[in-house]
């Protein structure tokens, strides 16, 4: 690098000598154009490579800039150079190098925010319940382990792609220590410098998500064991993969079906202690897998999430169908992440900033992390003004859950949330530079799940077809009975006619004889008057 600096300085001084011969014939504006074209452009070319160079090497480039400024202003070498540079609004060479590098980082950071919104890394989640224990009080306990496997076919990027993100260790620790005494902040800044920690990191997606070995983390854990959990690795989701979310104890519903899967306690706790109010610390609802059956539109969906250290509630939006099965569609209201000013019950989640983001620092090692909907959807518009590339929309960034109300089983789920980091300049910690206070998005994720097709067919048969058949079965039975009666009537009438015709065909009139009354002498006296009367009637006819 020393040879590169020497060659650049030599070429620049050569052109300055040539320009000096023409200076008397050029106006100042034209002279400035020539100097920028032939000299200062050489100082700016690839000057990002000059970062961290010793002062002895960058000073040679500063001499070139001083000579160019004096030539432009028509001054001698005896004149002080600093007022001249301020008049021309030229940064000194050292600051010029830093400014260009900082501007490049800024543009790349915002480019990443704009261009990576459409990029996604898909992982398939496998859940396994272990240590299942049934209790005498109608509850069951278990540990649910989660395993994530990268699905390359469903992604438009890989875990080996590099991304530029804020350094959580540097920026998070700086905000935590902003009120510490000056010697502590100086010592922290010195430690960052010794371990070459900067405000931004260029790491792969896999390292950012699942952790990477950091020498500073290892050093801190050697001094104070357990100061930074999860070993010597540091990452956003380092504690998610191949781990469990705590011991849940839930109701089995054997005694009361309306309490099935409702959380009795989590890690032995009836409520947590992360927040500042009892209402915010309550553990409500289920563990987020199954809800009690026979739901109505007025029934809220409540569940406790250990990952977010709080209970959440979803409300009925509309009715519909999912592959022919009737469902209730649930969503969240704007008050979910509202601050205490707009929604007083959320005061327990404070200290708060703008509405639409929740401070997670109290359950995340005091790191200033904030939870929200993606692109600050339903958040304060001020959040959008400080970060470029955000375009919130209900279609892309709202979360929903489609429930089958009769059995309390989710059919289609899409949970979308965003994790952001609050960054700012902290005096005496030089790594924070001059960063203005901003809630900077780190990533947003969507957890999407659809019930198995085989179960959908079973639910369709049990919930749709069987009730429909039972509803119309009485009418079918009545109709079938009417048809049977009609058929029986027709057959009876037909058989009756056939019998009568057959009887007429088989009777012989000559075979009919008068009864022999002589064989019944006792009846002859009584019947004879009637016989004579009938004979008289026949003669009259």
Written as one string, the DSSP assignment of 286-355 is BSSS---SS--TT--EEEEETTTTEEEEEEEEEEEEETTEEEEEEE--TTTT--TTTSGGGGGG-S--ST
436 pLDDT above the threshold of 80: yes
Q: Is 371 strand, coil or helix?
A: strand
pLDDT of residue 416: 92
Cis before 409? omega within 30 = no
CA-to-CA distance for 279 and 345, rounded, in angstroms?
A: 8
270 pLDDT above the threshold of 90: yes
Please compute the mean of the pLDDT values over residues 100-115 and round it to a whole number: 48
State the pairing for strand pair 301-305/438-450.
unpaired
The total of other beta-carbon atoms located within 10 Å of residue 286's CB is: 21
pLDDT-derived band of residue 392, with 50, 70 and 90 as boundaries?
very high
Main-chain phi, psi angles of 243, to 5 degrees: -135, 170
- The token pair at 111 is 């480019």
114 pLDDT above the threshold of 70: no
- Read off the pLDDT of residues 312-360 as tens digits, 9 standing for 90 and up: 999 999 999 988 889 999 999 999 999 988 999 999 998 888 999 999 9
pLDDT of residue 402: 92
- Identify how many contiguous H helices and E strands the chain contains and give both numbers: 16, 16
pLDDT of residue 184: 92
Contact 270, 256 (CB under 8 A): no
pLDDT of residue 371: 94
pLDDT-derived band of residue 115, with 50, 70 and 90 as boundaries?
very low
515 pLDDT above the threshold of 70: no
- Read off the pLDDT of residues 83-94 as tens digits, 9 standing for 90 and up: 888 888 787 777
pLDDT of residue 143: 94
529 pLDDT above the threshold of 80: no
446 pLDDT above the threshold of 80: yes
pLDDT of residue 117: 54
> Helix 55-73 crosses helix 93-115 at what angle (to 10 degrees)?
100
E strands of 1-138, at which residues? Answer: 123-134
Angle CA 124–131–126, to nearest 5: 5
Each as own residue / partner, the long-range contacts of residues 353-361 (CB below 8 Å, 24 or more positions apart, any chain) are: 353/422, 353/439, 354/379, 354/380, 354/382, 354/383, 354/439, 355/379, 355/380, 356/380, 356/383, 357/383, 357/420, 357/439, 360/308, 360/309
- Read off the pLDDT of residues 395-420 as tens digits, 9 standing for 90 and up: 889 999 999 898 888 999 999 999 99
521 pLDDT above the threshold of 80: no
pLDDT-derived band of residue 369, with 50, 70 and 90 as boundaries?
very high
Q: Is 174 strand, coil or helix?
A: helix
- The token pair at 23 is 């200076």
Main-chain phi, psi angles of 252, to 5 degrees: -80, -20
- Read off the pLDDT of residues 210-265 as tens digits, 9 standing for 90 and up: 888 888 888 888 888 877 777 778 888 888 888 898 999 999 998 899 999 999 99
More confident residue, 416 or 57: 416
CA-to-CA distance for 42 and 71, rounded, in angstroms?
A: 17
Please compute the mean of the pLDDT values over residues 203-212 and round it to a whole number: 89
pLDDT of residue 113: 45
CA-to-CA distance for 268 and 337, rounded, in angstroms?
A: 27
Please compute the mean of the pLDDT values over residues 9-24 and round it to a whole number: 84
Q: What is the CA radius of gyration of the chain?
A: 45
Name the β-bridge partners of 447.
Answer: 415
CA-to-CA distance for 189 and 286, rounded, in angstroms?
A: 45
Handedness of CA 170, 174, 177, 183 (dihedral sign): positive
E strands of 185-293, at which residues? Answer: 200-204, 212-213, 233-234, 243-251, 263-266
172-181, 469-478, 511-520 — most confident range: 172-181
């Amino acid at each position: 690098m020393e040879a590169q600096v020497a060659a650049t300085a030599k070429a620049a001084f050569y052109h300055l000598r040539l320009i000096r011969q023409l200076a008397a014939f050029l106006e100042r504006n034209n002279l400035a154009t020539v100097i920028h074209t032939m000299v200062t452009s050489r100082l700016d070319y690839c000057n990002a490579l000059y970062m961290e160079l010793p002062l002895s090497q960058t000073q040679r480039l500063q001499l070139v800039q001083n000579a160019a400024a004096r030539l432009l202003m028509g001054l001698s070498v005896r004149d002080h150079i600093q007022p001249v540079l301020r008049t021309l609004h030229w940064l000194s060479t050292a600051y010029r190098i830093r400014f260009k590098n900082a501007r490049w980082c800024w543009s790349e950071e915002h480019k990443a925010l704009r261009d990576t919104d459409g990029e996604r890394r898909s992982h398939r989640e496998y859940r396994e319940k272990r240590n299942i224990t049934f209790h005498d009080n109608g509850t069951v306990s278990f540990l649910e382990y989660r395993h994530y496997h990268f699905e390359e076919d469903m992604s438009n990027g890989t875990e080996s792609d590099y991304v530029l993100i804020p350094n959580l260790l540097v920026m998070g620790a700086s905000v935590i220590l902003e009120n510490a005494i000056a010697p502590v902040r100086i010592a922290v800044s010195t430690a960052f410098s010794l371990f070459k920690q900067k405000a931004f990191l260029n790491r792969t997606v896999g390292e950012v998500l699942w952790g990477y070995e950091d020498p500073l983390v290892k050093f801190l854990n050697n001094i104070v064991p357990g100061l930074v959990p999860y070993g010597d690795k540091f990452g956003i989701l380092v504690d998610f993969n191949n781990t469990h979310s705590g011991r849940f104890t839930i109701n089995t519903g054997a005694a009361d079906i309306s309490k099935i899967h409702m959380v009795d306690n989590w890690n032995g706790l009836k409520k947590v202690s992360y927040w500042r109010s009892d209402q915010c610390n309550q553990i409500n609802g289920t563990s987020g897998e199954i809800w009690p059956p026979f739901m109505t539109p007025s029934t809220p969906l409540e569940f406790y999430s250990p990952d977010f250290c709080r209970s959440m509630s979803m409300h009925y939006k509309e009715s519909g169908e999912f592959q022919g099965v009737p469902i209730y569609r649930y969503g969240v209201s704007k008050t979910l992440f509202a601050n205490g000013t707009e929604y007083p019950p959320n005061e327990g989640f404070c200290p708060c900033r703008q509405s639409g983001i929740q401070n997670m620092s109290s359950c995340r090692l005091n790191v200033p992390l904030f939870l929200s909907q993606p692109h600050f959807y339903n958040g304060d518009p001020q959040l959008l003004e400080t970060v470029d590339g955000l375009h919130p929309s209900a279609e892309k960034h709202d979360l929903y859950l489609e429930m089958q109300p009769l059995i309390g089983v989710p059919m289609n789920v899409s949970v979308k949330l965003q994790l952001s980091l609050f960054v700012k300049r902290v005096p005496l910690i030089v790594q924070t530079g001059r960063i203005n206070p901003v809630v900077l998005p780190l990533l947003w994720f969507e957890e999407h799940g659809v019930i198995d097709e085989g179960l959908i067919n079973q639910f369709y048969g049990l919930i749709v077809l069987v009730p429909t058949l039972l509803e119309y079965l009485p009418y079918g039975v009545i109709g079938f009975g009417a048809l049977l009666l009609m058929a029986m009537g027709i057959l009876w009438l037909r058989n009756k006619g056939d019998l009568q015709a057959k009887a007429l065909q088989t009777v012989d009139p000559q075979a009919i004889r008068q009864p022999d009354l002589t064989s019944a002498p006792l009846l002859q006296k009584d019947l004879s008057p009637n016989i004579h009367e009938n004979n008289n009637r026949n003669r009259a006819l």
